[in-house]
A and B are shown apart, each in its own frame.
Chain A
Amino acid sequence: MIVLQAMVDGLSLGALYALIAVGYTVVYGIIQLINFAHGEVFMVGAFGSMTVWLLVPGQQLGLWMLPIMLIGGMVASVAIALLMERVAYRPLRNSPRLAPLITAIGVSVFLQEFVRLFYGRIPGFPDAKANVTFPTIEGVTGTAIKLGGLDIDRPTIFTLAALIVCTVFLYLFVNKSRIGRAMQATSQDPDTARLMGINVDRIIMIAFAVGAVLAAIAGTAQGMMNTNINFKMGFIAGLKAFSAAVLGGIGNIWGALVGGLVIGVLESLATQVMPHGSAWKDVWAFVVLILILVFRPQGLLGARVVDRA
């Protein structure tokens, strides 16, 4: 039973990682860039939905607030992701590999500090230097649902539902829409894609935006799961989501989804089953990351052979 419960908890955690991981993998698939600051996009998404909730008068907690908050989070994270791409990554597109990685660290530190220092300065907003309590929206938070001896948390249901909906939309978007096909073409061969009349710069921006939309959903879900958010939440979550993307095969969207779920379940099992699991769970996650990178860098679904000199 403990194992089953751990698997259920792991699925919700995994769905979260999967949603973030898509952002890494989409961008990587197109320009072979590890957007190290994607964890911060996730964090900004969470703060974006928090902001919208604060702006709506009367501290509304009805379920109808949820879509409004999600949209707010998406607007914030997409704006940040696009700005990041324009200011920090686009000028460095032809520079050595080291450069964008260092810029990404800079962007990451900057965004964390910016939120930490200035979020609380807005009148009526809580101080973001410590944890910020996230609103408990009715229906998706509250007492867990009992199902045959298993406790299923309400945020889990939301997160899994969000993952399923996002997967369907992502599938339709990537395979059926013109833009999606253009993304696939760019990822296969940017130069030829450009010759075929695809605006590669625009495709790259769309890739950043798609990742940001999913990250915003994940940010909101995280807020409801932990009942609070903080400016540091993006670092560890981003790192684990990156592990998920690599585990699934970076560049492969479906791989990111699978990888996210696998990492989530593994982490949850490690917490429950291994001795002193909760203290060491992050260590196990990183050990898994290292082992995958060393022994199977192409990931589970093996999108492309990684040859990165």
Chain B
Amino acid sequence: MSLPGIPVAIRRRYGPVARIVTIACGVIIAASAYLPWAYGSDALDNVTYVGGPSFIQFIALGMGLVLPALVVCSIRWPAGFGRTRVGWIRGARALATGLLIIFVVIAGAISVQLGGTININYGAWVGLAAALIGFVATRFLVQEGAPTVNRLKTPGWLSILAIAVVMLVMLFVAYYALDQSNPGTFVTFIVYTGVGVAVLLRTGALGWLTAATGAHRRVMLLAAFLVAFLFPFTQGGSDANMSIAAQVLVFAATAMGLNIVVGLAGLLDLGYIAFLGSGAFVAAMLSGTAMATFDVHPPFIVTMLLSGCVAATLGLVIGSPTLRVSGDYLAIITLAFGEIFRLSMNNLDGSDGPDLTHGSRGISDTGDLNLFGFDFGATHTIAGIEIGRFANYYFILLIWLAIVILIFSRLNNSRIGRGWVAIREDEKAAEAMGVNVFGLKLLAFASGAFLAGVAGSIKAHVDISVTPDSYVFLQSSFLLAAVVLGGMGTVLGVLIGATLLQLMPEKLRFVNEYRLMFFGLLLVVMMRFRPEGIIASERRQLEFHDEDEELAERLDDNLGPSTGAVAVEGASR
């Protein structure tokens, strides 16, 4: 985005030509969808036909047509509508950049999947060339000021309609992405989604959506929950994707707990997986199966609460040093606690200590849950659609995630949450203002740990077995990465971060070998260029100060992509 720009004088001079070239390129890209892209049918979703675009090609067709549309709109309504400015050219530039990336990814996917660039057919070359020319041409266009679409007054019914459309699109994206067994198609589809979001952001449409849906928060949340609830019904009885989805939910619920500790209270925890693990071990020990080490088998609700309480107690223990230690040292202490947890679980095997966990073998065969006569291990048929074992767990995890999000947002908007944020921003000032610093820090650790512990108790049954190997430092750093990459202190960001981090390795089996390496690289690159995460938490400030016009103005400007650095300064310090 911040490439050295072409001088405005030159842009003015060649602008009209550039517009025509851009329009032509968009049309050519759209037309290239009707040409064959590859010589072999194994690449992407079979892009070998003449005149019969595949789904991936259809999206390229659509995006290709949007490009001329944006340029035409910028000629027809250069100043937007009335006093509302629309980022036509901004969107066109983002789209052209995105199309170039898409065609590079497509060409790469074809050559990787079929073995060499020789397998790229002329259609893809035409598309790539058009995207490249379009990219260059859009650099010659003069872009308008920051879009102001988000200030548009929107009638209620339209907002709710927008929410419905967004939710349906999200359901479809999730359904389609999970359905892909071909990694090339999966990657291309994810890139398409990213480009789509970028174009919405640059034209200002995303700002409008945020404003419109923000006004109907409850409807939005309810709709999101409904869509997530409907998701298993799109799977047609297949449990393969539901197993991934269940893991995503466990991960997301745990990351949400970590979000309290790191995102709100600003306490770095590098051993957070221990809370999930302790919950899982407690549940496994009390599960009443042959491997269980306690001969007590309370109902699951009790086990669940007990798991949470054990984890919360551990959280208090780990949190207690915060009285004297903060910053990096606290991070190291939590890391040490995480290692102690792992080593202890390995050693409590009967030979080096009391037999609680069977050591590295772990507790297997934890059995399936049975709540109120509902057997989670069996397949049920609801409305003619089969709901398998993982789908059952998906539902209970979804309910738990909803509760976690509710707890998180209620805490966040309370006196406690404001206390946490105050501690995060400046501990000494917070203390001087009468915030109970130590108590609140302990509460952050305990409540975060409780949420993770309960998630762990469900995970023990989803996974069937609980072994210490699943609760190692690397998992803690994955959780931390989900929070940091998604956006510390936000709900949506952490959900996106958790989903991406859990979904990517499942769908990208071909890079499985390299995924940890890419993960390491991603952390470094992300910290360097966008440390505030995918969703910047500063947006939330607008909710608290919506009557403060000046702050709204400033934040509004800050939300522009080129001023990310300013947002960082305020957000994470």
Contact = CB atoms under 8 A, between A and B. Distances in A.
B517 A101 contact: no
A105 B339 contact: no
Interface string B502-515: 00000000000110
A94 to B, nearest CB: 9
A293 B320 CA distance: 12
B288 to A, nearest CB: 29
B2 to A, nearest CB: 15
Given A293-B321, A306-B329, A282 B528 contact: no
A308 B327 contact: yes
B517 A114 contact: yes
Interface in B328-342: 328-329, 331-333, 335-337, 339-340
B522 interface: yes
Contacts of A176: none
Contact of A286 (B336, B480, B520, B522): B336
Interface string B315-355: 00000010011111101110111011001101100011100
Nearest to A107: B524
Q: For chain B, which range describes its interface: under 10, 10 to 19, 20 to 34, or 35 or more residues? A: 35 or more
A309 B523 contact: no
B527 interface: yes
A8 B261 CA distance: 43
A289 interface: yes
B554 interface: no
A283 B343 contact: yes
A294 B340 contact: no
Contacts of A171: none
Interface string A95-122: 1111111110111111111100100000
B328 A110 contact: no
By DSSP majority rule, is chain B's interface helix, strand, loop, or mixed? Answer: helix
A113 B327 contact: no
Interface residues of A, number: 45
Given A102-B480, A109-B517, A293-B321, A34 B352 contact: no
Interface string B476-505: 010011001000000000000000000000
B427 A309 contact: yes
A2 interface: no
Nearest to B565: A95
B268 interface: yes
Interface string A224-255: 00000000000100010010001000000000
B333 A290 contact: yes
A115 to B, nearest CB: 10
Interface in A74-133: 87-88, 91-92, 95-103, 105-114, 117
B272 interface: no
A294 B324 contact: yes
Interface in B283-325: 321, 324-325
Contacts of B268: 98, 101
Most buried by A among B324, B333, B516, B527: B527
B514 A290 contact: no
B339 A282 contact: yes
Contact of A105 (B327, B336, B480, B528): B480
B361 interface: no
Given A96-B572, A286-B336, A293 B347 contact: no
Contacts, number: 136
Nearest to B476: A105
Contact of B524 (A88, A246, A306): A88
A289 B271 CA distance: 15
Interface string A170-183: 00000000000000
Interface string B410-439: 000000000000000011100000000000
B378 interface: no
Nearest to B347: A279
A309 B437 CA distance: 12
B513 A117 contact: yes
A290 B325 CA distance: 10
A34 B524 contact: no
Contacts of B527: 92, 95, 99-100, 102-103, 106
Contacts of A109: 474, 477, 516-517, 519-520, 523
Contact of A98 (B352, B520, B572): B572
A276 B346 CA distance: 13
Nearest to B426: A309
B281 to A, nearest CB: 17
Given A113-B517, A276-B353, A239 B336 contact: yes
Interface in A188-233: none
Contact of B520 (A34, A92, A107): A107
A133 B443 CA distance: 49
B516 A297 contact: no
A295 B516 CA distance: 36
Contact of A308 (B270, B326, B339, B523): B326
A20 B473 CA distance: 21
Interface in A258-309: 276, 279-280, 282-283, 286-287, 289-290, 293-295, 297, 306, 308-309
Given A98-B572, A102-B480, A113-B514, 13 more contacts: A95-B568, A102-B481, A107-B520, A109-B517, A113-B520, A114-B517, A117-B513, A117-B514, A242-B332, A279-B352, A286-B340, A308-B326, A308-B327
29 contacts: A34-B332, A91-B528, A95-B527, A95-B531, A95-B568, A97-B327, A98-B266, A99-B572, A103-B528, A105-B480, A106-B520, A106-B523, A109-B519, A110-B520, A113-B514, A117-B514, A239-B336, A239-B339, A276-B351, A283-B347, A289-B336, A290-B333, A293-B333, A294-B325, A295-B324, A297-B325, A297-B329, A308-B326, A309-B326
10 pairs of A and B residues whose beta carbons are closest in the complex: A106-B523, A110-B520, A308-B327, A109-B520, A113-B517, A279-B352, A286-B336, A106-B524, A276-B352, A103-B527
Interface of B: 266, 268, 270, 321, 324-329, 331-333, 335-337, 339-340, 343-344, 346-347, 351-353, 426-428, 473-474, 477, 480-481, 484, 513-514, 516-517, 519-524, 527-528, 531, 568, 572-573
